[in-house]
Structure 1
Amino acid sequence: MKILVIGASGRVGTDLVKQLLADDHQVISTTRQEKKLFNDDNYSQLDLDITANKDTIQKQIDQDIDAVYFVAGSGGKDVLEVDLHGAVKTMQAVQDKGIKRYIMLSTVFSLDTSKWDNPNIADLKEYYICKHYADQWLINNSSLNYTIVQAGALKERAATGKIMINDDHSGENSIEDVATTLVAVLGASNTTKKIFSMHNGETAIEQAITKL
């Protein structure tokens, strides 16, 4: 498949691209870094600015893309421009190109505002608001075949290959396990138009995805 990864230089994005290339996909990544992130015949990258206007973004996206991942993040800076407006503009651009498959990396409880009194979430309130409305736009205002993966806290630790889906707790994730879950979603037709939360657990990733 020919896959566009928006936000490839981030922690999840880097692992995601690595795994997609290992599966022999053709990967086009977006990054503001000048240095080429991967040396692979199936890899290329774009200097795509998601704070630019929608038409500028759209012109840089190939017509024959099979699937798009949005794993970009502001890191707490310019959350409105990146995590909300930037995300929505990529959805609009992809949809206008006739591309159907769009996989969004979101955050746990992004759509459940009743959980936002949790101190860990309260400290990230602006980010959560942006993710909430970006996810809402994808669900309610697009015709894309979306999957929204709502990951708990990302941790720099060894992968376990095991997760729990749609638990009532936020939990934590190995970054590599989040990337592996995103890859598993790509080939699973049962994940279309689905939203699920995840954190490390006791079920093998592929098995957990088949049960959605």
Structure 2
Amino acid sequence: MKILVIGASGRVGKILTEKLLDNQHEVIGTTRQDELLFINKNYTQINLNLTGELKDMQEITPNTLDAVYFVAGSRAQNLLEIDLHGAVKTMQLAKNKNAQQYIMLSSVFSLETDKWKQEGFDQLKDYYIAKHYSDEWLVKNSGLNYTIVQPSALTEKEGTGKIEVNIKHPGENSIQDVASTLLEVLNNKATHHKVITLHSGETPIKKAIQSLLS
């Protein structure tokens, strides 16, 4: 598959891109870095300016894409222009390029505002507002075959390969396990038009994702 990874140089994006390449996918990574992130015959790189015009983004992006991952973020430096407006522009880009699946890395309970009263959410309120409206636009306005992956707090812990989905309370996820989950949802009918909340657990990732079919 030909896959655009928006945010390939990030903590999750780098691991995800490596996994995609290991699975023989053709990957176009986006980053603001000049140095090539991966030396691989199936990897190319573009500088996709999320604050720029959609027409300029389209000009440097290949015309045919099988899937688009959005794993970028401003790290609270430019929430409206990147995490919200920038994300929406990439959805429009994916639609114009006829992408078969758009996979958004979001944050747990971004669409469930009633749960923001739980401890810790108030410290990330502006971030959650940006993610909320970005995810809502994807679901209600994009016209895309979407999958939204909403992990709990990301940690640098070694991955276990096990998670729980459709959770009731936030927890934490290793970055490795989030990247593995993002890989698992690719071209997986169980995840089409789904919002998936998750934290670490005892269920193998593949089994947890397939349970979404029921």
Q: Shorter-chain TM-score: which interval?
A: over 0.9
Gap runs ≥5 in structure 1: none
Partners of 2:119 and 2:86 lie apart in 1 by 27
What is the match of residue 67 of structure 2?
Answer: 67
Paired residue type of 2:144: L
Q: TM-score, normalised by structure 1?
A: 0.98
> Are the aligned partners of 1:10 and 1:72 in contact in 2 as well (CA < 8 Å)?
yes
Structure 1 segment 127-142 matched on structure 2, within 5 A: 127-142=127-142
1:98 aligns with 2:91: no
**In the alignment, structure 1 residue 7 sits paired with structure 2 residue 7:** yes
Classify the secondary structure of the residue corresponding to 1:56: helix
| Aligned residue in 1 for 2:153 | 153
1:120 deviates by 1.2
CA displacement, residues 15-64 of structure 1 (integer Å, 9 cap, x when unaligned):
00010000010110000011111111111110111110111112222111
SS in 2 for 1:211: helix
Q: TM-score, normalised by structure 2?
A: 0.97
Q: What is the alpha-carbon root mean square deviation over aligned residues? A: 0.8
Of residues 9-18 and 50-59 in structure 1, the stretch that sits farther from structure 2 once superposed is 50-59
* Contact preservation (8 Å) 1:164, 1:202: yes
Confirm or deny: 8 A CA contact 1:58 1:93 kept in the other structure: yes
Structure 1 residue 190: deviation in Å?
Answer: 1.6
The answer on whether the counterparts of 1:58 and 1:94 sit within 8 Å (CA) in structure 2 is: no
Give the superposition deviation at 1:100. Answer: 2.9
Q: How does 1:59-208 map to 2 (within 5 A)?
A: 59-208=59-208
- Identity of matched residues, %: 55
Structure 2 regions of 5+ residues with no counterpart?
none
Which position in structure 2 is the counterpart of 1:44? Answer: 44
Contact 1:63/1:99, CA 8 A, preserved across alignment: no
Q: How far off its partner does 1:98 sit?
A: 2.1
Task: State the secondary structure of the residue aligned to 1:76.
Answer: coil
| Partner of residue 27, structure 1 | 27
Look up the SS of the partner of 2:120 in the other structure: helix
Deviation at 1:126, TM superposition (A): 0.6
Partner Cα distance (2:118, 2:169) in 1 = 11
SS of the counterpart of 1:28? Answer: strand
Shift in Å, 1:76: 0.9
What's the CA shift string for 1:149-179, capped at 9, x where partnerless?
0010000010100000011111100100000
